[in-house]
């Protein structure tokens, strides 16, 4: 199986190390993974702001970039969810049937459901609090949403449990939004910051040293709050933990 | 065109897909010990349930629970501790300042401690105006859940009927729970 | 880029203590709701059924309403139809006139709020007495509800106590909720006994029996209807359910979702007039039939007004009901406002981080968050898109559609990291209000890949 690595715009620009960790991880698991060059953005920021039409060319471009791959795998649940849930509708208006939607995976989902590794060589002797991101939980079903009466599961926890030395925690409001929300973060800045502050505090109350999750966008937002308020906790993308030591 | 006709015609012209009526099939909760569950649910709702024991006198039981009640209303023949028949007053306002009303219910619901009552008194005010309310039901008249409850209600006739689960309550001031917002402050269900 | 919501929200949040209390208190209601929903193994099935029943009933309103009317008339009720708020208010006024009534005692109804009925009747000289405690408090304070189930949730006990000192002569400085509630109980008893006409809303109208069902915890609807000879019940036509079997589903969901109780204290079925009395039923459209023509938004008609979407909404909890411009706040209010008048109520569409928690708690499975997303797509068409946002989005589009330009931008982006702080963190930068900006990587992933820095074994 050929895997095309999907690196969203802000990971490309701000968190390339998350992309590097993802690549190393997939490589380590013996997978045929490649990065189609010159990726930009999936179009989510424009669409969430109310300009879905502006995402059309980007969606078409992604279709083209990944057409030769069996799987598209990316380290950002929200972007993956956008491609999966929204690209089909956007492309339909241009008479194109979306291919990526059925083959795109968040990297955690892909590892958990497709690759199913039984062990990882990683060691991370720290306390981490899992950040269950909204789109990861409620669109990609990476964990059981707290609102629903279904048995608890967490694909992130399952994967982290393969890491040696780690202590896994979760906040009290287990999947409350951190307040990023794309354009929401700047359109409703006071609310967004307030939510981010509350979320970081909730993660801190677990005693964790790190907040980790499948969405760098949430982590970026919380990191911004942490730095502004000089809070004693750090953020780290889950792939960086899973690939620790590789 | 009347308002009714114009509303109906708008509905007809705007209705798109007509969805089918679903068959209501589900595996609804049921309890090994319905009496225990009923009692627990009612307690959580702020009320209380007692089972009348063999040889126990219902009027004594009521008096024991409401020793201070002076003005006691009931139209039930078995209730001898009543001080007046509420059906004998012509104006429901005369029921004000009743300490205790004793009425009959049809059945109880284990999942939520509610009792279904259909109006069996002249003035429905009686159910709400007294400070304490005692509801009598037969101990075999308990259902598991609201699906079973409505099966029992279906096809019966009543002017006014209601499920009552515990006392009147409110949390409108800072979400602090207070009993006796407007209606009864205490509700006791006697399973006889 | 500010919206009326974001400006009002900032004001609410400025009082950090009140905001934190509001957030935590409503969160506790959500926790209670979770406990209730988790106690029923069949919870998700119930939600599915509730949604399916509503999809059926709302796509058969014509036949079900006629069936309801026929049965209600057979029960001895008088049925009225109101196209809009004006007609609704006039029907009520006419009934009051017919009975020479002056005082109307009413239980909580979001529909009368929607119709502006109290204001209308006040202007005609009638006295309207709200009997729900929260609504009564608001009436005394000349305020509107900030939540559809907990209308006075934004008011502190001290404020209530001070107000009651003035209107009821309660003890100075006593703001104990039990004391205050019982003071109102005493005051209201008199009102119940002397009102001329009673009015209630309805949570459900049952087509097969012609009865209406009213759910309250206080018993105020039942008290209110126990003395006057005339009872007027008013409901939006989407309150119709086919039969009592359907009630079995809804009564199990409503209070568990709304307040975390297994059922409200009172679930009252009004079927026939009391002896010698009159029972009026008003079926109200007021825009509902228009929603039927909008397949993307038709599910909003499923709403049973439990209010849980507000309790779970991280934005509502932190901004309060008054930060929204429509009289129903929170996720359902954002949607209903847009359906009522998109030009007027588009300011609420920003009040959503698209977390989708509302869609998951909704007992009738309204796709609340998804619909807000769809409304955002319509803002530009109606000329309500923020121009600043449009420029930002357009700029991103331009950049992202040009990989070479994007790569160049990434190359120079790290320079921003070195900009003087006053240039980055100024009033123009909404991000910088409470957060540090992320720092751009020295080398983007694209660059690293091109230089073969990643692929090395």
Task: Say what the pLDDT of residue C433 is.
Answer: 85
Measured CA distances, C281 to A76, C78, C192, C230, C235 (Å): 54, 6, 21, 11, 8
What is the DSSP secondary structure assignment for residue A94, as one 8-state letter? T
- Binned at pLDDT 50, 70 and 90, residue C404 comes out as confident
| Contact residues on chain B for C251, CB-CB shorter than 8 A | 146, 163
Residue whose entry in the numeric block shows the structure tokens 């320079």 = C415
The residues, ordered by sequence, that sit 6+ positions from C416 with a Cβ below 8 Å of its Cβ are: C424, C437, C440
Gap from A83 CA to chain C (nearest CA, Å): 15
Rounded to whole angstroms, the Cα distance separating C338 from C428 reads 29
Q: Which chains have 3+ CB pairs within 8 A of A?
A: C
Rounded to whole angstroms, the Cα distance separating C69 from C13 reads 48
Our answer on whether C and B touch (3+ beta-carbon pairs < 8 Å) is yes
Determine, for residues C244 and B153 on separate chains, whether the beta-carbon distance falls below 8 Å.
yes
Inform me whether the C-beta atom of residue B169 falls under 8 Å from chain C C-beta atoms: yes
Inform me whether the C-beta atom of residue B19 falls under 8 Å from chain C C-beta atoms: yes
* Helix %, strand %, coil % of chain A (to 5): 45, 15, 40
Question: What is the arithmetic mean of pLDDT over C410-420?
Answer: 78
CATH class of C60-289: alpha beta
Closest Cβ–Cβ partner in B16, B158, B165 for C265: B165
Rounded to whole angstroms, the Cα distance separating C164 from C170 reads 6
Rounded to whole angstroms, the Cα distance separating B178 from C247 reads 28
| Backbone torsions φ then ψ of C406, nearest 5 degrees | -60, -45
Rounded to whole angstroms, the Cα distance separating A203 from A130 reads 8
Nearest to A120 by CA among A165, A87, A154, A177: A165
* C-beta neighbour count of B52 within 10 angstroms: 14
Helix (H) or strand (E) holding B1: none
| Contact residues on chain C for B23, CB-CB shorter than 8 A | none
Is the confidence at residue C418, as pLDDT, over 80? no
What's the CATH number of domain B28-191, 3.40.50.300, 3.40.50.2300, 3.40.50.10420, 3.40.1350.10? 3.40.50.10420
- Binned at pLDDT 50, 70 and 90, residue C359 comes out as very high
Closest Cβ–Cβ partner in B4, B24, B169 for C265: B169
Determine, for residues A134 and C354 on separate chains, whether the beta-carbon distance falls below 8 Å.
yes
Residue whose entry in the numeric block shows the structure tokens 């119930």 = C46
- Binned at pLDDT 50, 70 and 90, residue C421 comes out as confident
Q: Do the bridges between strand B160-164 and strand C266-270 make them parallel or antiparallel, or are there none, so unpaired? A: antiparallel
Q: Searching chain C, which residue's CA lies closest to the CA of residue A11? A: C445
* Test mutation, C19, C27, C330, C393, chain A, max A CBs within 10 A: C393
Task: Say what the pLDDT of residue C417 is.
Answer: 77
Residue whose entry in the numeric block shows the structure tokens 């039981």 = B61
Helix intervals (H) in B83-143: 126-129
HSE-up (13 A, CA, CB side) for residue B172: 34
- Binned at pLDDT 50, 70 and 90, residue C384 comes out as confident
Q: Searching chain B, which residue's CA lies closest to the CA of residue C295? A: B16
Question: What is the arithmetic mean of pLDDT over A12-41?
Answer: 95
Rounded to whole angstroms, the Cα distance separating C288 from C84 reads 10
pLDDT (tens digit per residue) in C89-103: 999 999 999 999 999
Q: Searching chain C, which residue's CA lies closest to the CA of residue B131? A: C185
* C-beta neighbour count of A102 within 10 angstroms: 9
Closest Cβ–Cβ partner in C133, C219, C262 for B183: C219
Task: Say what the pLDDT of residue A230 is.
Answer: 97
B167 dihedral zone (left: phi>0; alpha: psi -120 to 50; beta): beta
CATH 1.10.1060.10 at C4-12+300-378, yes or no: yes
Task: Say what the pLDDT of residue B95 is.
Answer: 98
Rounded to whole angstroms, the Cα distance separating B47 from B133 reads 10
Task: Say what the pLDDT of residue A158 is.
Answer: 98
Is the confidence at residue A77, as pLDDT, over 80? yes
Question: What is the arithmetic mean of pLDDT over C12-21?
Answer: 97
HSE-up (13 A, CA, CB side) for residue C88: 27
C306 close to C254: Cβ distance less than 8 angstroms: yes
| Contact residues on chain C for A150, CB-CB shorter than 8 A | 44
Closest Cβ–Cβ partner in A41, A173, A188 for C6: A188
Inform me whether the C-beta atom of residue C25 falls under 8 Å from chain A C-beta atoms: no
Is the confidence at residue C420, as pLDDT, over 90? no
Task: Round the average pLDDT of chain B to a whole number and report it.
Answer: 97
- Ranking A132-136, A193-197, C185-189, C389-393 by mean pLDDT, the lowest is C389-393
pLDDT (tens digit per residue) in C172-209: 999 999 999 999 999 999 999 999 999 999 999 999 99
Determine, for residues C249 and B181 on separate chains, whether the beta-carbon distance falls below 8 Å.
no
- Binned at pLDDT 50, 70 and 90, residue C427 comes out as low
Determine, for residues C13 and A191 on separate chains, whether the beta-carbon distance falls below 8 Å.
yes
Rounded to whole angstroms, the Cα distance separating A161 from A141 reads 18
C106 close to C224: Cβ distance less than 8 angstroms: yes
Measured CA distances, A120 to A26, A212, A245, B98, C15 (Å): 11, 17, 10, 74, 48
- Binned at pLDDT 50, 70 and 90, residue C407 comes out as confident
Q: Searching chain C, which residue's CA lies closest to the CA of residue A172? A: C31
Is the confidence at residue C457, as pLDDT, over 70? no
Helix (H) or strand (E) holding C377: helix C368-379
Question: Please, is A167 exposed, middle or buried when counting C-beta atoms within 10 Å of its C-beta (0-12, 13-18, 19+)?
Answer: middle
Task: Say what the pLDDT of residue C367 is.
Answer: 98
Task: Say what the pLDDT of residue A38 is.
Answer: 86
Task: Say what the pLDDT of residue B67 is.
Answer: 97
At B101 the three-state DSSP class reads: strand
Is the confidence at residue C169, as pLDDT, over 70? yes
Domain ranges of chain C: 4-12+300-378, 60-289, 387-450
Determine, for residues C435 and A227 on separate chains, whether the beta-carbon distance falls below 8 Å.
yes
Is the confidence at residue A132, as pLDDT, over 80? yes
Percent above pLDDT 90 for chain B: 99
At B102 the three-state DSSP class reads: strand
| CA angle at B116 for the pair B87 and B141, rounded to the nearest 5° | 110
Domain ranges of chain B: 28-191
The residues, ordered by sequence, that sit 6+ positions from B155 with a Cβ below 8 Å of its Cβ are: none
Determine, for residues B21 and C56 on separate chains, whether the beta-carbon distance falls below 8 Å.
yes
Task: Say what the pLDDT of residue C456 is.
Answer: 66
* Test mutation, B149, B170, B189, chain C, max C CBs within 10 A: B170
pLDDT (tens digit per residue) in A168-188: 999 999 999 999 998 899 999
pTM for the whole structure:
0.96
| Residue bearing the bigger pLDDT, A237 or C405 | A237
Task: Say what the pLDDT of residue C428 is.
Answer: 63
pLDDT (tens digit per residue) in C261-303: 999 999 999 999 999 999 999 999 999 999 999 999 999 999 9
Inform me whether the C-beta atom of residue C346 falls under 8 Å from chain A C-beta atoms: no
| Contact residues on chain A for C349, CB-CB shorter than 8 A | 50
Task: Say what the pLDDT of residue B69 is.
Answer: 97
Helix (H) or strand (E) holding C157: helix C157-168
Closest Cβ–Cβ partner in B16, B146, B164 for C251: B146
What is the DSSP secondary structure assignment for residue C155, as one 8-state letter? S
- Binned at pLDDT 50, 70 and 90, residue C383 comes out as confident
C304 close to C364: Cβ distance less than 8 angstroms: yes
| Contact residues on chain C for A61, CB-CB shorter than 8 A | 401
pLDDT (tens digit per residue) in B32-75: 999 999 999 999 999 999 999 999 999 999 999 999 999 999 99
């Amino acid at each position: 199986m050929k895997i095309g690595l999907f690196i969203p715009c802000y990971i490309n620009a701000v968190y390339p190390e998350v992309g590097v960790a993802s690549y190393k991880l997939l490589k380590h698991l013996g997978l045929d993974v490649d990065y189609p060059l010159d990726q930009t953005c999936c179009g989510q920021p424009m669409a969430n702001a109310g300009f879905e039409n502006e995402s059309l060319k980007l969606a078409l471009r992604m279709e083209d970039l990944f057409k030769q791959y069996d799987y598209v795998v990316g380290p950002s649940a929200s972007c993956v969810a956008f491609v999966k849930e929204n690209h089909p509708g956007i492309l339909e208006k241009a008479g194109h049937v979306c291919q990526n939607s059925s083959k795109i995976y968040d990297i955690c989902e892909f590892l958990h459901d497709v690759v199913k590794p039984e062990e990882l060589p990683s060691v991370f002797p720290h306390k981490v609090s899992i950040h269950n991101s909204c789109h990861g939980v409620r669109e990609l079903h990476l964990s059981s949403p707290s609102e629903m009466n279904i048995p608890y599961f967490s694909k992130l926890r399952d994967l982290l449990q393969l890491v040696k030395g780690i202590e896994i925690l979760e906040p009290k409001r287990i999947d409350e939004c951190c307040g990023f929300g794309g354009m929401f973060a700047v359109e409703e800045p006071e609310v967004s910051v307030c939510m981010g502050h509350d979320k970081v505090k909730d993660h801190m109350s677990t005693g964790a040293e790190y907040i980790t999750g499948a969405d760098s966008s949430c982590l970026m937002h919380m990191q911004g709050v942490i730095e502004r308020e000089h809070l004693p906790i750090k953020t780290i993308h889950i792939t960086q933990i899973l690939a620790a030591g590789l | 065109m009347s308002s009714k006709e114009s509303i109906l015609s708008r509905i007809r012209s705007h209705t798109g897909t007509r969805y089918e009526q679903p068959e209501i099939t589900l595996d609804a909760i049921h309890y090994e010990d319905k009496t225990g569950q009923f009692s627990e649910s009612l307690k959580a709702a702020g009320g209380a349930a007692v089972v009348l024991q063999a040889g126990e006198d219902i009027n004594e039981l009521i008096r024991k629970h409401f020793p201070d009640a002076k003005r006691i209303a009931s139209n039930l023949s078995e209730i001898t501790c009543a001080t007046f028949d509420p059906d004998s007053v012509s104006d429901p306002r005369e029921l004000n300042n009743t300490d205790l009303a004793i009425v009959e219910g049809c059945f109880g619901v284990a999942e939520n401690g509610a009792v279904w009552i259909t109006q069996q008194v002249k003035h429905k005010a009686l159910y709400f105006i007294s400070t304490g309310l005692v509801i009598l039901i037969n101990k075999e008249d308990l259902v598991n859940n609201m699906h079973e409850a409505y099966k029992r209600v279906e096809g019966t006739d009543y002017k006014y009927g209601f499920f009552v689960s515990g006392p009147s309550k409110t949390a409108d001031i800072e979400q602090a729970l207070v009993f006796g917002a407007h209606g009864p402050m205490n509700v006791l269900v006697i399973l006889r | 880029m500010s919206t009326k919501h974001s400006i009002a929200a900032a004001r609410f949040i400025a009082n950090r203590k009140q905001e934190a209390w509001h957030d935590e208190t409503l969160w506790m209601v959500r926790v209670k709701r979770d406990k209730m929903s988790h106690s029923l193994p069949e919870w998700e099935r119930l939600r599915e059924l509730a949604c399916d029943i509503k999809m059926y009933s709302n796509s058969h309103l014509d036949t079900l309403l006629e069936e309801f009317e026929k049965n209600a008339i057979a029960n001895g009720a008088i049925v009225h139809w109101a196209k809009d708020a004006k007609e609704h208010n006039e029907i009520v006024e006419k009934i009051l006139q017919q009975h020479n009534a002056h005082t109307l005692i009413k239980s909580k109804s979001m529909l009368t709020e929607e119709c502006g009925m109290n204001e209308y009747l006040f202007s005609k000289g009638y006295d309207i007495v709200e009997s729900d405690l929260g609504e009564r408090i608001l009436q005394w304070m000349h305020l509107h509800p900030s939540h559809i189930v907990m209308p006075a949730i934004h008011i502190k006990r001290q404020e209530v106590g001070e107000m009651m000192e003035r209107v009821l002569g309660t003890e100075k400085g006593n703001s104990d909720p039990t004391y205050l509630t019982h003071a109102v109980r005493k005051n209201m008893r008199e009102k119940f006994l002397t009102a001329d006409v009673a009015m209630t809303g309805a949570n459900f109208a049952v087509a097969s029996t012609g009865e209406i069902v009213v759910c309250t915890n206080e018993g105020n609807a039942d008290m209110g209807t126990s003395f006057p000879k005339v009872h007027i019940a008013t409901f939006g036509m989407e309150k119709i359910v086919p039969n009592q079997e359907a009630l079995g589903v809804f009564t199990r969901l409503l209070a568990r979702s709304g307040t975390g109780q297994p059922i409200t204290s009172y679930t009252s079925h009004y079927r026939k007039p009391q002896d010698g009395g009159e029972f009026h039923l008003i079926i109200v459209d007021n825009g509902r039939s228009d929603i039927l023509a909008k397949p993307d938004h038709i599910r909003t008609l499923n709403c049973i007004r439990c209010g849980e979407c507000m309790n779970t909404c991280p934005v509502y909890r932190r901004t309060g009901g008054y930060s929204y411009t429509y009289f129903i706040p929170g996720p359902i209010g954002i949607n209903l406002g847009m359906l009522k008048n998109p030009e007027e109520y588009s300011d609420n569409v920003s009040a959503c981080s698209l977390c989708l928690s509302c869609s998951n708690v909704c007992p009738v499975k309204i796709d609340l968050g998804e619909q807000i997303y769809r409304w955002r797509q319509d803002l530009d068409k109606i000329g309500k898109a923020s121009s600043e946002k449009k420029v930002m989005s357009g700029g991103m589009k331009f950049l992202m559609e040009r990989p070479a330009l994007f790569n160049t931008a990434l190359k120079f982006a790290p320079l921003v990291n070195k900009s003087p702080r006053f240039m980055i963190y100024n009033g123009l930068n909404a991000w910088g209000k409470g957060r540090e900006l992320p720092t751009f990587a020295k080398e983007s992933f694209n660059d690293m890949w091109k230089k073969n820095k990643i692929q090395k074994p």
